[in-house]
Amino acid sequence: MQLGKATLASNELMTILGGFLGSIFFVLSLTAVGNFEKLFFGYGSQVKIAEVILCLMASMFVSSLVHRVSVTTCLIFSIIALYYINRVSQSVYTIQPAQVYKKKK
């Protein structure tokens, strides 16, 4: 994002685009951290809130190097992306509880 800093800070729409690029960096870094944990700690490991905050702060820092408005839009887009990541994860990885049938006497 530093290579296109002048372009991304040139007008309002480009600063919003800078925040969107920051949120893409958030999603990619969160995926990388999750894959790292699965690789080294086993399949049962999950990304916790500390890792999410760390990736969010890193993406907001990257966006802050472009423009102040990009930080805010990065936060908004990242929260929206995190919501949809959580929704997809819940639908794919949630185990449905087995139904218990009672015998009638």
pLDDT in tens, 59-68: 999 999 998 9
In this prediction the pTM is: 0.85
Rg (CA), the chain: 19
pLDDT digits 0-9 by tens, 66-85? 989 999 999 999 999 999 99
The encoded tokens of residue 22 equal 């920051």
Q: Which residue do the tokens 């890193």 mark?
A: 58
pLDDT tens for each residue of the chain, 105 residues long? 778 888 888 888 999 999 999 999 999 999 999 999 999 998 888 899 999 999 999 999 999 999 899 999 999 999 999 999 999 998 888 777 777 777 776
